[in-house]
Chain A
């Protein structure tokens, strides 16, 4: 009896020993399998025990179950029943954790196809977030070296949230900005605080960044130095981050990467940087209690460099990229001019002329190469081009009035540089109109700028039909010569009087 017990005990010990041994050997075996290309499928990493067990226990049947679930998901989607989709996507991807296309399709389906099925933007946003989280939280966890997942993640930020194709894009941006504001409370956050957090508040923000958004502050700092300064509360910065991380991973695993994958990652970077340039600056509007977006003029150099680098590396699409680069430079010049950053505008205008000397700047106008057009002429042309109109007096006056209204509103929001830029442009547009119509007998003159300015201000400050009170107060605070708003006259219905003196906007 005792010998039998001893026999059983020794067998158990042997089993335990063998299991331990195989556990130790498994890692090196997996490494060798990977290295010698003995298996198509990589061993599952970072998987929870249930998933590890399921993938091994079900073996080849996993595919069948996954297919059945996929069919059910399609049927439910056709019937507009989306409440099960998150669960089904979770099961499908977990059954095929190494099948990259499964992750991509499921995430795309949620972020693009399902989201737009809802009329409320809050519902749409939930699905966009779910698509992002599927790739970021699970897809990358099981496939940390798959560049396609990084590219897709970057694309969701760049295209779904960043672009304006979805009617809900502003809501997405606002929600993302609100979420990110919990981590980055200002435009140029101190990333060192998140790399080496000291206070409990910093530690909490760093934890949120690492655990919820799966981002590494150290790498963010590198990205910021290479491509920034970026506004991390906006989606474009995150598109750049994930694409840059994909490139980094690709460099670490060069044998597994196709050249096309790298090109798509770089494309995400320069396109997102271009978007960042266009509206990569958050402007807090305390009066309307929301964020607004302005151009990030500090990254012109880096965006231009990114385009040039991409053109160099992607020979097949070189011409397209250079065309996009030229368009970017044209925008950069105009935006810098609009923001009254005239020396920088002149410098980039010069660079545009050097880089693309024989390309016309004005559509349909031959001989409008940079050497034949001055910076002022180009800026005015862009204004006119924006509204696609010619010499119609009413139209041009409306443009000038619009610019002055923008100037006053920018002033109310504390955007003094922009206000001055609009004022300057209004002046230039008026001068351009005058010089182009003075020889025309029948042309109607536009009133002096001072008069237009006074009319615009009267309209904006009108308590009945003008701007909201908070804006009016902000404008009056910036322009003390206007004085306080008169008390409403209760005896008549006439609007409150506004001073005739046109306030001066500095051209700083």
Chain B
């Protein structure tokens, strides 16, 4: 351990020698101070806080990511090129310890920088929130500077599957379906069955029961937030539809009813529900009345959700920063792995290239969903299907799977919308990003570095 710490300490010294630590720290602090002055928000305290969180955390991630890659490439590749590594390698220390020591050094630097910038963002948010009027503070503390858990309506997959199968068999008995068309017929029947559970016809109401789970024990006397989204069968001239929500069961729980709301389709709306509308088992009964002349459809997946306060913002913020820290771990491993067998410039170029590919993962995902790298006709859904696609699309899929190991966690998004990043999520993130992704890259880097003949490196000397 002492050897690892010694190498880590050397990395710290190198970071100070390059003035990297000071420069990055100043840049991070400057971004925290300057961004609130430069960016234009939507005019609400909530919007300002969301944009502040998004922009500052994104800038911190970008700055730290770039500096991590640069330092990781520089600290190993330049040591090799300058032949300084030979002085270290002849000491009683294993190659893997050198590699891991450098990684630990970079990560401890990142931890320090992330702590400084994160603390600045947190202090800035609290300071600004404290200066707001009481009602805006309340909105902020309830919707953004909070850690909110959620409960959704059951997706009823089993019931849908069973009913689909039943209707399909009935249909086949009455009128046989060719095998080739069977999947399509089944898909259509499934959608019909699903629609019955999602649609609120005009002039009717629908009821949902949402189980709040163990959380209901500490949710007494606390407001809940209904998060809803619906699709409409027709377009309304005003762009909105009327609707009334209700919660609770008569003579059993507190009752709540909204005013007549003017709601846009295909959009998430958050509506506050008065406390104590759920029963002793933690079941919240919700109703929606549709006074329009068209049917409205609440998707089972995300149409109806209840958000509730699960904890404070501080700890959630720390967990969010920890996920960002995990991302830095992968970048540090990537930079070190590249520097293990490449010169500094090539390693830096290679690492940046990989980073660019990660940033372009949207394009990769698009190509995968279209099934081709070009010539897809969005209107007809047709694709030419070139020979290159047979190789490239599976390759893209594999790359996406690897990238998504890290990208599936979006702490900036969760923090700016006041969603809980649970300890479980953090654990999974750590496992996938650090242990799996960074671990594999590290193993590769260590293996290459161990086998490398250091004396053959032709540096700038």
Contacts and interface: CB of A to CB of B under 8 A. Distances in A.
Interface of A: 80-87, 90, 112-113, 116-119, 123, 126-127, 130, 165-168
A117 B261 CA distance: 12
Contacts of A83: 41-42, 44, 46-48, 50-51, 54, 416
A166 B263 contact: no
A116 B42 contact: no
Interface residues of B, number: 26
A378 B51 CA distance: 60
B269 A86 contact: no
A165 B238 CA distance: 5
A117 B237 CA distance: 14
Nearest to B50: A83
B262 A86 contact: no
Contacts of B237: 165
B268 interface: yes
Contacts of A86: 40-43
B267 A126 contact: no
B238 A130 contact: no
Nearest to B53: A83
B270 to A, nearest CB: 9
B271 interface: yes
Contact of B240 (A84, A87, A116, A127): A116
B180 interface: no
B51 A84 contact: yes
A80 B42 CA distance: 13
Nearest to A91: B40
Given A87-B51, A119-B271, A82 B264 contact: no
Nearest to A165: B238
B262 A167 contact: yes
A116 B43 CA distance: 16
B39 A116 contact: no
Given A84-B54, A167-B238, 9 more contacts: A82-B47, A83-B44, A83-B50, A83-B51, A85-B42, A119-B269, A127-B42, A130-B42, A166-B240
A168 B262 contact: yes
Contact of A123 (B41, B44, B48): B44
B302 to A, nearest CB: 11
Nearest to A116: B239
B264 A116 contact: yes
A90 B239 CA distance: 25
A116 B238 contact: yes
Contact of A126 (B44, B54, B239, B271): B44
A119 B261 contact: yes
Contacts of B268: 80
A166 B264 contact: no
Contacts of B242: 167
B271 to A, nearest CB: 7
Contacts of B40: 86-87, 90
Given A112-B239, A166-B238, A117 B41 contact: no
B42 A126 contact: yes
Contacts of A167: 238, 240, 242, 262
A84 B262 CA distance: 24
Interface in B266-285: 267-269, 271
A165 B42 CA distance: 24
Contacts of A81: 50
Contacts of A80: 267-268
A315 B375 CA distance: 46
Given A84-B54, A116-B240, A165-B238, A130 B267 contact: no
Most buried by B among A82, A83, A86, A113: A83
B262 A119 contact: yes
26 contacts: A80-B267, A82-B42, A83-B41, A83-B48, A83-B50, A83-B54, A83-B416, A85-B42, A86-B41, A86-B42, A86-B43, A87-B41, A90-B40, A112-B239, A116-B264, A117-B264, A119-B261, A119-B269, A119-B271, A123-B44, A126-B43, A126-B44, A166-B238, A167-B240, A167-B262, A168-B262
A117 B41 CA distance: 17
Most buried by B among A86, A166, A167: A167
Interface string B19-49: 0000000000000000000011111101110
Contacts of B51: 83-84, 87
B140 to A, nearest CB: 13
Contacts of A82: 42, 47
